[in-house]
Chains A and B, each alone.
Chain A
Amino acid sequence: MAGKVKWVTDIEKSVLINNFEKRGWIQVTENEDWNFYWMSVQTIRNVFSVETGYRLSDDQIVNHFPNHYELTRKDLMVKNIKRYRKELEKEGSPLAEKDENGKYLYLDFVPVTYMLPADYNLFVEEFRKSPSSTWIMKPCGKAQGKGIFLINKLSQIKKWSRDSKTSSFVSQSSKEAYVISLYINNPLLIGGRKFDLRLYVLVSTYRPLRCYMYKLGFCRFCTVKYTPSTSELDNMFVHLTNVAIQKHGDDYNHIHGGKWTVSNLRLYLESTRGKEVTSKLFDEIHWIIVQSLKAVAVNASPSLTSSTANDRILKYNLINDTLNIAVPNGEIPDCKWNKSPPKEVLGNYEILYDEELAQGDGADRELRSRPGQSLGPKGSRSRDSGRTVLTTWK
């Protein structure tokens, strides 16, 4: 059925609306017939909830998978990865191989983590093994750095103890769920500062898994120099890189917002550490992303608020490329689509993993290449051109 795509959104952001309008798509309300609905997290919950939800018809697309919160909520994420690893082990998959000390060779990418209050006792046991260690507490359901703090003494998390006095007055379920992980206190520093990576990954289909990574991801820097000193555990400007936190620091600079592009990062690392190490790093990052996706579904709330002019441009282009892949040629969506989009449509995305292409090459590929086996420049080259999809690890 020819016609313009009808869109709805409940997020009033210019980077979205401008992209819809430039394609000549037609804005409708959610009660009318729509093809594309860019939903806020709350709306997604309603649409897919058992009580209030409804089934999407064949010509409708939304911007989140129903089980996206499996990746957003930290406790679910941890559960999923642990379960995924066990499953692979049971199947005898070579991916689940362990070394002499029982550590996973290829799937060891989550630090020791426990759920609180559920695993409190297990955590205490682990904590006592290395009492001088630092741990990071993160609320399961929050984002943008809210509610995160560091501890190095059991007394600091007394509240979550199952036997704590408070539990007799307060029921278990109202104690907020947290995850506690071993804090990595020797992070890679640049200019003496801690940074994290904001990468955009688009999952267009889940079975078979087809995902794309946006080439223009970025790093966010802390404004303050990093120190593992215990006196600064409370200083969130040292430890957390989220812009929402850093924005309120005294040194926050509004012109650049403390960010670098991933290609800057790559240039810096190659120049100071060498090419092999850098390629290996990026391969492993991609590996982690794909494995995480395989374990669960898709993430929910990237911030669409732009903090600087450059940022606005980046997000506009990101949405543009996203829409080009998700709704190719501006055709009305059809759930029977399952072909991979042509290379020209990718824009600044590159194929991260295409299960169909991977399986087409035969199962032995899975065995042949392992993560960490760097294939040198050729490997990364092919990925860039999007030609042969999975040269590094299949």
Chain B
Amino acid sequence: MLQEESDLSLIIAHIVQKLKGSNLYAQLERQAWTSLQRPEIKLESLKEDIKEFFKISGWEKKLQNAVYSELSVFPLPSHPAAPPEHLKEPLVYMRKAQGSWEKRILKSLNSMCTELSIPLARKRPVGEQKELLNKWNEMGTDEPDLSLFRPVYAPKDFLEVLINLRNPNYENGDSLSFRTHLGLIQVPLKVKDIPELKEFFVELSLNTGQLGIDDSTQVPPELFENEHVRIGQKVLEEQDSAAAQQYIRQGSPTALRAELWTLILNISGQSEDILYYEQLKANVIQHDLLVDSLIYKDVKLTASNDDYYFVFEDYLYQVLLCFSRDTSVLGHFAYNSASPPKSYIRGKLGLEEYAVFYPPNGVIPFHGFSMYVAPLCFLYHEPSKLYQIFREMYVRFFFRLHSISSHPSGIVSLCLLFETLLQTYLPQLFYHLREIGAQPLRISFKWMVRAFSGYLATDQLLLLWDRILGYNSLEILAVLAAAVFAFRAVNLMEVTSLAAAEAVLADLSTLKVMPLLQIFLFATVT
């Protein structure tokens, strides 16, 4: 009992400390002061009256949402004496692996920089600044020579690193048994099995209505859809983050999705935020970063060629260039196993006082990075809103897809979850693919790293991301990947090479994700 209490007070203290520096705190203070003018606030019962006022005016709800947001995002310190690295990543071998991976990336970036004799950052001459400002809404028409730039790394490079991960404390003996993991990932992390997944994803069960299934043209809307839409509208009226997160597990109606995501991610859209975005834009205009070229190249290679997202090319630059300069993103490294790369002012190599994070937000983009932003353009067309939503999605979810950690939503766990599901529930398929040199993870890895963006049809992708938000977890990506293999199992059993297997799984654009997930989790005989 005592332990729980002290845990709770630790949590409360932690959250209070976090919120004290926030805009919301300042607003609440201001509101409290001005409320003193109101007739219902009496000196004798000051505290209760102000609390009551907050409740009625909706400020309490805003505070609730902020607290809920903190709980969702920030992992809680497990022990008051735990050092900060444990918050990033408790396992030493994982931290070490992430550290060496980062060194490699930085080395690659620096050598590209030296080869091309381009500085990591430079101030733009005034003429160039003016030009960029004029072109701000159509940077896509620019055709800089990007032929010499290469992406710093691609998902398959990252996969090789993960395959070589080993826990030095783990020794399972030489003999192979049915327990031996036949996949590529060879670290012993705990992942959920199907019974646990069924419990975790209980709202996806066959008895519960889903958008993505029960809103199809064959089903009369009175059965589920109309009521679900009505509830969604009510949730939005109440402006309750926690309720929205619960609601969206069954999918979001298209018309309500933009607002629901805003509520769940607790984006306020205040004028301060718009101002902040404008400031980032000003930074972009003034300084040119080497990573900008990497971003251009990535957008040109991926989003510009996509059937759905090519229209939004210009928005992608506007978001990603600003994102690189946003130092507030550095905050997420407290709970990310990764650390921002450091660079030194010219001539001051090794001197800590002259160290800067590079890029300013500490995130080096890789091949396909812009696909995290692209689907969001279907929901938000105001640049600063689009920006905030993306930033929040990144610091809550996407960062886990390209850093090495033991977190259940981290890419390592997702890979292991995928392989384990396949090996346990589709052993014949798994074994067959392994025999022909087509380890399933080699195919599904790129889907998971991109959270399926660019592989699924947009409406399906948004339904999938609804559930990521609803369950505050990326595990659904691994489950979907396994479900896709299960769906195409018959064809896959007949292939005899990795290339042929890739071909069977090359086109996911016709898949309907919710039926696949439902069948895999709840209707497959295990």
Q: Residues on A close to B: CB < 8 A?
A: 190-193, 221, 224-225, 251, 253, 255-256, 258-260, 263-264, 267-268, 270-272, 274-275, 278, 310, 377-378, 381, 384-385
Contacts and interface: CB of A to CB of B under 8 A. Distances in A.
9 contacts: A191-B313, A256-B306, A259-B307, A260-B307, A268-B378, A270-B254, A271-B378, A271-B462, A272-B258
Interface in B250-291: 253-255, 257-258
B102 interface: no
A303 B129 CA distance: 45
Given A256-B305, A377-B221, A221 B311 contact: yes
A264 B458 contact: yes
Contacts of B258: 271-272
B415 to A, nearest CB: 30
The 5 closest A-B pairs by CB, nearest first: A191-B311, A275-B255, A270-B254, A384-B217, A225-B138
B240 interface: no
Given A253-B304, A272-B258, A274-B255, A191 B217 contact: no
Contacts of A278: 255
Contacts of A272: 258, 378-381
B221 A378 contact: yes
Contact of A253 (B138, B141, B310, B315): B310
A286 to B, nearest CB: 17
B229 to A, nearest CB: 8
Nearest to A221: B311
A258 B310 contact: yes
B85 interface: no
B193 interface: no
A191 B254 contact: no
Nearest to B220: A381
A192 B314 contact: yes
B138 A192 contact: yes
A305 B267 CA distance: 47
Given A268-B378, A271-B255, A260 B314 contact: no
A381 B137 contact: no
B379 A225 contact: no
A317 B3 CA distance: 67
Contacts of B141: 224-225, 251
Interface string B206-222: 00000000000110110
A225 B310 contact: no
Contacts of A274: 255
- A259, A270, A274, most chain B CB atoms within 10 A: A270
A271 B311 CA distance: 16
B305 A267 contact: no
Contacts, number: 71
Given A191-B313, A264-B308, A271-B255, 15 more contacts: A191-B312, A225-B137, A251-B140, A253-B305, A256-B310, A258-B310, A259-B307, A260-B308, A267-B378, A268-B378, A271-B258, A271-B378, A271-B379, A278-B255, A381-B221
Contacts of A255: 305
Nearest to B138: A225
B414 to A, nearest CB: 27
Contacts of B459: 263, 267
Contacts of A191: 311-315, 377
Interface string B402-428: 000000000000000000000000000
Interface residues of B, number: 34
Contacts of B313: 191
B225 interface: yes
Interface in B302-324: 304-308, 310-315
Interface string B198-210: 0000000000000
B181 to A, nearest CB: 40
B306 to A, nearest CB: 7
A260 B459 CA distance: 13
Interface in B362-381: 377-381
Contact of A381 (B138, B217, B312): B217
A191 B310 CA distance: 9
Interface string B379-392: 11100000000000
Contacts of A384: 217
Nearest to A255: B305
B307 A256 contact: yes
A104 to B, nearest CB: 30
B62 to A, nearest CB: 24
A265 to B, nearest CB: 10
Interface string B119-146: 0000000000000000001101100000
A271 to B, nearest CB: 5
Contact of B218 (A192, A224, A267, A385): A385
A377 B254 CA distance: 12
A378 B220 CA distance: 8
A46 B384 CA distance: 60
B456 to A, nearest CB: 13
A213 to B, nearest CB: 16
A13 B258 CA distance: 44
Contacts of A267: 254, 378, 458-459
Contacts of A192: 137-138, 314
A271 B254 contact: yes
B305 A385 contact: no
Contacts of A385: 217-218
A278 B253 CA distance: 14
A259 B310 CA distance: 9
B259 to A, nearest CB: 10
Contacts of A190: 311
A255 B306 CA distance: 8
- B137, B225, B310, B462, most chain A CB atoms within 10 A: B310
B399 to A, nearest CB: 25
A33 B500 CA distance: 48
Given A224-B141, A256-B305, A270 B310 contact: no
Contacts of B311: 190-191, 193, 221, 260
B320 to A, nearest CB: 15
A21 B220 CA distance: 40
A359 to B, nearest CB: 26
Contacts of B378: 267-268, 271-272
B12 to A, nearest CB: 38
A271 B312 CA distance: 15
Interface in B289-306: 304-306
Contacts of A256: 305-307, 310
Contacts of A260: 307-308, 311
Contacts of B218: 385
B363 to A, nearest CB: 25
Given A191-B377, A381-B221, A271 B257 contact: yes
A378 B313 CA distance: 35
Contacts of B138: 192, 224-225
Contacts of A258: 310
- A225, A259, A384, most chain B CB atoms within 10 A: A225
- A271, A274, A377, A381, most chain B CB atoms within 10 A: A271
Contacts of B381: 272
Contacts of A377: 221, 225-226
A264 B375 CA distance: 12
A385 B221 CA distance: 13
Nearest to A279: B255
A270 B459 CA distance: 11
A171 to B, nearest CB: 46
A201 B254 CA distance: 27
